[in-house]
Copies of this chain bind each other. A is one copy, B any other.
């Protein structure tokens, strides 16, 4: 392997790129051990710190894991759905907070994706996901609940809906969309009135899923979207008025 020392990019970035491509192409299979840092530094003709910076870049993307000790080293990591969730969530969160995405746009995306799941959830309707949804609805109706806890429960409800589709790829894709919305949702002050409204819609959704009725689920989700946007608009209007 060779590296261009006159490139505009850092050596560590180039080395990371080269190894990354080897992983993506399948040249380096899962659990394969990379050469030791010393060997890599010889192969790429760079110093060990430079190799290490490259490896840390890959580790940050969960592409490799490292282990110390005699039989240690850097190993190609099997990217788990769990790791991917976490990355997806932070990326989505930052994307929303840094790019002035409107609440409405984010909300539209989130509900569009959830509505894609609803028919599959209604079709499969597994007992444990339904139980989770019911449990979260029950929690949401507790009187002493803080707004943050209410939002967290809301996220849990929607994740159960998504997971109910029984498709891990969908769950992974949507984890970001649902969780990334939480910071904006936390801005909303949920009155007793709005909570009961939301709980009623959640109940309708759960009922529709349980009944295997995708059309009703879709309708309830649609109403929930409209209502959520309205609540956010009210908060924004109230803030503007306070100024």
Contact = CB atoms under 8 A, between A and B. Distances in A.
Contacts of A115: 116
A79 interface: yes
B113 A173 contact: yes
A162 to B, nearest CB: 11
A220 to B, nearest CB: 16
A26 interface: yes
Copies of the chain in the assembly: 2
Interface string A146-167: 0000000000000000000101
Given A52-B53, A90-B24, A93-B24, A81 B108 contact: no
Contact of A59 (B57, B59, B106, B177): B57
A115 to B, nearest CB: 6
A194 interface: no
A99 interface: yes
A133 B227 CA distance: 34
Contacts of A61: 60-61, 87, 90-91
